[in-house]
Structure 1
Amino acid sequence: MRKFYPALLIALVFSFAAKAQLIKNFTQEGQQITKFDNLGNAVDAHDGEIAYFNGTYYLYGTSYDCGFEWNNKTAPFCGFKSYSSKDMVTWKDEGYLFDAKTPLWQSRCDGKTYGCFRPHVIYNKKNKTYILWINVYDNVSGYRVFTAKTPIGPFIETKEPKIAVNSNMPAAGLNNGDHDLFIDDDGTGYLALTDWRTRGTIVIEQLTDDYLSGTGKVARSITNGNTEAPALFKRKGIYYVTYSDPNCGYCSGTGTSYKTARSPLGPWSEGKKISDNSCGGQPSFVSTMKVNSETIYLYGSDLWNNAAKNEALANFYWAPLTFAEDGSINPMECIKSFSVTKSKKNTSGSAPLETNDFKAFSDIGGKIQRSQSFTAAKSGRLKTFEVTTLKNGYPLEDLSLDFYESEAGKIKGSPLAKIIIPRDSLGWSARGFVVNPNVSVTSGKQYTFVLKSDTGKGFYGFAYNDSASNSGTDNAAISTDYGQTFTVEKNRKLKFNWLIE
């Protein structure tokens, strides 16, 4: 058997005419959708925000691909990632905001700590600097602050900020938590935060002119407790703060409430709930941004995997908030999608691979195997093959990718190629893995690949959609008896790409 490690599948750059594009949250059947970037890898940036700088959208979030797991003392910290987009549909992976693999950052953020979360970035017009705040639990303030010259970094850490709330508490405790950053029309910056010492009340503090620390001007206990994840924004002279109500780490389906004020420091109104379950997630942000020359207030929630071992599988809900004539926020409807206009030219550096309505799932291992048939469009050699996969739950054995001839979806004979994908070469998020089968194929003939593993612990995953109604006999199938028999899954297609030369 041959072992292959990940390679990069290069795509061409294409131009596209401007047209309406859908930002999708759910399928027509109401199932969650995994968002993929322009190279076909799952977007791995959670519990952060989408910011808008100079005509480009930037998604910031915590990465889970390396295997970070809350409350697992052996889990590494993966770092914070950013993605860029011109339309919030096609995303380009811009990499990590700073190097989190160092011993210092592992000691601050790995599984032996409470972790590090919630990257938020704002721009200081006066200093022409991008400012990053993250939530940590190794110091007194609960935050660390960075600066950079570009929205994607690299970000360089500055001194620890001074925060009025809990400034006399011991370091490395549960002092302050989830936060948000807001810049008012006059350039004044504010930090909205969660005060854990008062059981999760929301606090807002005015920032210094450079946005690197607090001023001590603060509004405390805006909520009564049991809340977190504030998002502060302004619309038509009214300030709003939304928040998770109640608080619940990594829970799927906490509520969203909000309050209003005429000043960021209050006084604040009574709270109103706009969603009982945040569309299946936990509130993460509300971002003020331009879409098609219109200002929208984009609400985001993290569709967590219920604190499962692999939160890299968590998805996203994004949709504009709507408002009544009196300025109150309308109850959320949890829409399946909303429209934007795609830019005339794709500037992401490569053509987007097929990613529509795919979902990531994992169950491959032991008696469970997955297969997919495909028909060769021309004769030649199957030189390059990319399959989307992942690992989940610490599998002990490698993943096997086998190729067969097939007819009407049924495997024929011995494998044409058997390729071992080492478990240590896979991450926890769904990513394309490229191999070189070098198998001779004939135009019009059907072939099948099988994903399997002898692991008795953990699983391997795949991405799929259930909209392949015109696939003929090129279907996905599942075996529950170690590959002895396969049952066709009608209209299902696994996510893969191939190149015949």
Structure 2
Amino acid sequence: MNSWLPLVFCFLFGTVVYGQTKPGEFPRIINFDEKGKQLVRFSNLGNALDAHDGEIAWFNGTYYLYGTSYDCGFEWGKKDAPFCGFKCYASNDLVNWVDKGFLFDPNTPVWQKRCNGNTYGCFRPHVVFNKGTGQYVLWINVYDNVSGYRVFTSRNATGPFTEVAEPKLAVNSNMPAGELNNGDHDLFVDDDGKCYLAFTDWRTKGTIVIEQLSDDYLTGTGKYVTNITGGQTEAPGVFKRNGIYYVLYSDPNCGYCSGTGTSYRTAPAPLGPWSAPVKISDNSCGGQPSFVSTFKFPEGEVILYGSDLWNNAAKNEALANFYWTRLSFNADGSIKPLVCSDTYRMPGEAVGGNRKTVACAVSNGVSVSQPITAFLTGTLKHIKVTSFQSGYPDGNLELAVYQADREGNPTGDRLAEATVPVANIGWSPRAISFEVDLRVKKKEQYCVVLRTPGSQGCYGVGYQEEPGGTQIVALEFVYVK
């Protein structure tokens, strides 16, 4: 027997924020709400940003978020898990994001074999622009070859990207293919146009290596420095400020962990010599370091730090969020410790505002109901719900519409119903449309019910906060008079 889940008692996963800025103000980057819950960022399509362990790059005045997709159900270490590919989003303000699709087709047999759950996976897309060739260059981390990377080029920042020859690197070049040779990486282009690859050497238990790349950025040169760190580290990010080179990294390394530390070292040149470590965070604000990017504005230079807010290797890492903050420096060039509760403004203008929360709320025996009032007489064609799946549901997601009683609960016979198959619902929160085709009367009270007949797994539902602090299911309606 189903029970109606009171929305006020839902266990909330995070809050969704589009923009919180008035016209003419600089966009305000917010990572957590007032209660410390993670914020979920959504795209123009109404879907959560599904781009993890990547970076934010800046080309020709536009921000590009690159990352690994988990929406199709990729789960690290699960043999039959599919490879979902690499996504790209574009923004003018770091607040409003436009979904630009996949960098290349991940569904071919070649890419599924290289990157699905039978391998260690494929991760960490990083893109730079080569002024000499006029090409955008993409490097990804793989575990099916010797170098640990595959390289692509494109004339556009959003792709499609075309694979080129496997790069040759000096470190671990004689090791067997398909093993843990080299890992998480970053690309850094210096002021003179030279590009460097910073990466994790797994053969030395997680030391950091930097190698200078060829003029076309497609392979190594044999000029490199090893053992920048002493081991048990990963995920480097390189930048330059006031003539000093910095490398930030996860300290210690811990895949999909929530709360590894962030340390950094400095050098007078990309190939060193590198200094002793300095730690700026013990938990990377609940995540693991992902990138460091430099943006130059008329108002000054901004160095943006990002970490992935993983969920401790949960089965659904599509729900992982992001922590983004501007790095601050002391007069001597040292980086100030991260202040994880900070919000700040970036140069530029942003508009908009919408908050939701998401919770895995619909499961066996537990349904969610929401009263609604028709604002016109006509046909209610579609009802859209922000939803996702988790825990491998074995039943479809069902929506039904009833008359509502005085308390807003469903009463009487079902007026309309619709079903969305589990195969059509992703692991990352996104807009799901139910076709109901129901005649409604203006000011009449109805009740929308979400449920599943399955016995395992659950479906997440989007919520929206009301001024009084209550929460309602975030529904969108399409009417025809």
SS of 1:108 mapped into structure 2: helix
Sort the Cα spacing of 1:39 and 1:355 in 2 relative to 1 into closer, same or farther, 3 A: farther
Q: Which residue of 1 aligns with 2:377?
A: 379
Instruction: Tell whether 2:403 aligns with 1:405.
Output: yes
SS of 1:34 mapped into structure 2: strand
Instruction: Tell whether 2:174 aligns with 1:195.
Output: no
Instruction: Tell whether 2:53 aligns with 1:68.
Output: no
Q: Which residue of 2 aligns with 1:147?
A: 153
Sort the Cα spacing of 1:29 and 1:210 in 2 relative to 1 into closer, same or farther, 3 A: same
Q: Which residue of 1 aligns with 2:426?
A: 427
CA shift, 1:228, in A, is 0.3
> How far apart, CA to CA, are the structure 2 residues paired with 1:44 and 1:180?
20
Within 5 Å, give how 1:60-139 maps onto structure 2. Answer: 60-139=66-145
**CA deviations over 1:153-205 (Å, ceiling 9, x no partner):** 11000000011110110000000000000000011100000000000001111
SS of 2:95 mapped into structure 1: coil
Q: Which residue of 2 aligns with 1:417?
A: 416
Q: Which residue of 2 aligns with 1:312?
A: 318
Q: Which residue of 1 aligns with 2:367?
A: 369
Q: Which residue of 2 aligns with 1:210?
A: 216
Contact kept, 8 Å, 1:244 with 1:282, in 2: the verdict is: yes
> How far apart, CA to CA, are the structure 2 residues paired with 1:255 and 1:225?
14
SS of 1:107 mapped into structure 2: helix
Sort the Cα spacing of 1:336 and 1:438 in 2 relative to 1 into closer, same or farther, 3 A: farther
**CA deviations over 1:363-389 (Å, ceiling 9, x no partner):** 411122112222222222212221111
Q: Which residue of 2 aligns with 1:498?
A: 477
Q: Which residue of 2 aligns with 1:41?
A: 47
- AA aligned opposite 2:398: S
Q: RMSD of the alignment, in Å? A: 1.6
CA shift, 1:151, in A, is 0.2
Contact kept, 8 Å, 1:319 with 1:335, in 2: the verdict is: no
> How far apart, CA to CA, are the structure 2 residues paired with 1:342 and 1:403?
44
Q: Which residue of 1 aligns with 2:190?
A: 184
CA shift, 1:234, in A, is 0.3
Q: Which residue of 1 aligns with 2:250?
A: 244
* More divergent stretch after superposition (82-91 vs 372-381): 372-381
**CA deviations over 1:217-255 (Å, ceiling 9, x no partner):** 111000000000000000011100000001000001111
Q: Which residue of 1 aligns with 2:288?
A: 282
Contact kept, 8 Å, 1:231 with 1:284, in 2: the verdict is: yes
SS of 2:436 mapped into structure 1: coil
- AA aligned opposite 1:169: M
Q: Which runs of 5+ in 2 are unaligned?
A: 1-21
CA shift, 1:24, in A, is 2.0
Q: Which residue of 1 aligns with 2:33?
A: 27
Sort the Cα spacing of 1:341 and 1:463 in 2 relative to 1 into closer, same or farther, 3 A: farther
CA shift, 1:446, in A, is 2.6
SS of 2:346 mapped into structure 1: strand
**CA deviations over 1:110-166 (Å, ceiling 9, x no partner):** 000000000000000010000000000000000000000000111000000011110
* More divergent stretch after superposition (314-323 vs 335-344): 335-344
Within 5 Å, give how 1:48-63 maps onto structure 2. Answer: 48-63=54-69
> How far apart, CA to CA, are the structure 2 residues paired with 1:267 and 1:341?
34
SS of 2:296 mapped into structure 1: strand
Sort the Cα spacing of 1:292 and 1:422 in 2 relative to 1 into closer, same or farther, 3 A: farther
Q: Which residue of 2 aligns with 1:349?
A: none
- Using the size of structure 2 for normalisation, the TM-score is 0.92
SS of 1:438 mapped into structure 2: strand
> How far apart, CA to CA, are the structure 2 residues paired with 1:275 and 1:427?
33
SS of 1:42 mapped into structure 2: coil
> How far apart, CA to CA, are the structure 2 residues paired with 1:166 and 1:179?
15
Match of 1:331 among 337, 340, 344: 337
Q: Which residue of 2 aligns with 1:481?
A: none
> How far apart, CA to CA, are the structure 2 residues paired with 1:493 and 1:291?
41
Match of 1:390 among 380, 388, 395: 388
Contact kept, 8 Å, 1:391 with 1:460, in 2: the verdict is: yes
SS of 1:101 mapped into structure 2: coil
- AA aligned opposite 2:473: L
Q: Which runs of 5+ in 1 are unaligned?
A: 1-15, 347-351, 471-489
Q: Which residue of 2 aligns with 1:450?
A: 449
- AA aligned opposite 1:153: G
